[in-house]
Amino acid sequence: MSESAYRGEMLFDEPLARYTTWRVGGPARRLFRPADSKDLVQFLQSLPQDEPLLWLGLGSNLLVRDGGFEGTVILTRGQLDGMELLDDNRVWAEAGVSSAKLARFTAHNGLCGAEFLAGIPGTLGGALIMNAGAFGGETWDWVEQVETVDRSGEVRVRKPDDFSIGYRKVSGAEGEWFLTAILKLEPGDGEAGLAAIQELLDKRNATQPIGLPSCGSVFRNPEGDYAARLIEQTGLKGTCIGKACVSEKHANFIINTGGATAAEIEELLQLVREQVEKASGVHLISEVHIVGEEAAA
């Protein structure tokens, strides 16, 4: 596709550490910032069917290996970030909108239900992909419909019934990515909603290592228990491999203390899983999506 055929920005050999919350990751062969959804559709229509694609929002819950990504990264954050109040209790938003920004927007418009999104360190697109949740709320509890796009650029409208939705997982409509969503919320007290958001943020700041590079929670909570409790019980708080460490503040966070590599983080993630299973018999399931190539020896 010629550069004149799209309006967005194309970067080559772009270091992905700049775009991930862990601040690690090798270069993407190409990184595309679409001007808008129409530009994205046109770009997708131009791609070879076998081109590897990686959709990237805020880069949380993502570990890009040190060898980088041999394909095209599509960056949605700061690009596909439109929001609109449709009527008294429905909000339309694009996939690149940050979850926290969406939470504040709904509260400012006197809508309740999405306050928990303030505690999700990612975009709406990522929240839809994994049914992200925090403090008792889950994304798909409020979804009325979504728009998806496939790699050939075809846009479809889908309902929640088109997907199988569970705890931190969503399946269905394979080969499609989320473009937009309409959330149907409850009318309520906007001031109370904003206060609830601040309370959630204060709780998060008090219990999580905010301000240090991490990906958010590393493992899903097993049914009836908490991953952090199992990790702490195993004595792994503060354990480090290189510059990657299990947080002393919250055991379900792995932090980059400065200069960690993706390989160190991945090795520590595996160590934690193995040690917890050995100690308690529980196999922790990672929330982290690991992509890319290992660095050349």
103 near 201, Cβ under 8 Å?
A: no
Q: Which residues contact 187 (CB under 8 A, 6 or more apart)?
A: 88, 89, 110, 111, 112
Contact present, 273 and 227 (Cβ < 8 Å): no
14 is catalytic: no
- Catalytic-residue membership of 46: no
Q: How far apart are CA 127 and CA 250, in angstroms?
A: 22
Tokens of 34: 């679409």
168 is annotated as an active-site residue: yes
From the list 94, 147, 266, 287, the catalytic residue is 287
Q: Which two tokens stand for residue 158?
A: 């889908």
Of 7, 30, 168, 220, which one is the catalytic site residue? 168
Question: Which residue in the block uniquely carries the two structure tokens 């970067």?
Answer: 11
Which residues on adjacent β-strands are paired with residue 93? 83, 181
Burial label for 296, CB within 10 Å (0-12, 13-18, 19+), is exposed
**Alpha carbons 90 and 114: distance in angstroms, whole number:** 12
Give the list of residues 6+ apart from residue 199 with CB closer than 8 angstroms, or none. none
Token pair, residue 64, equals: 């890009």
In Å, how far are 141, 227, 229 from 224, measured between CA atoms?
Answer: 20, 10, 11
Say which of 37, 217, 247, 286 is annotated catalytic. 217
Instruction: Provide the annotated active-site residues.
Output: 168, 217, 287
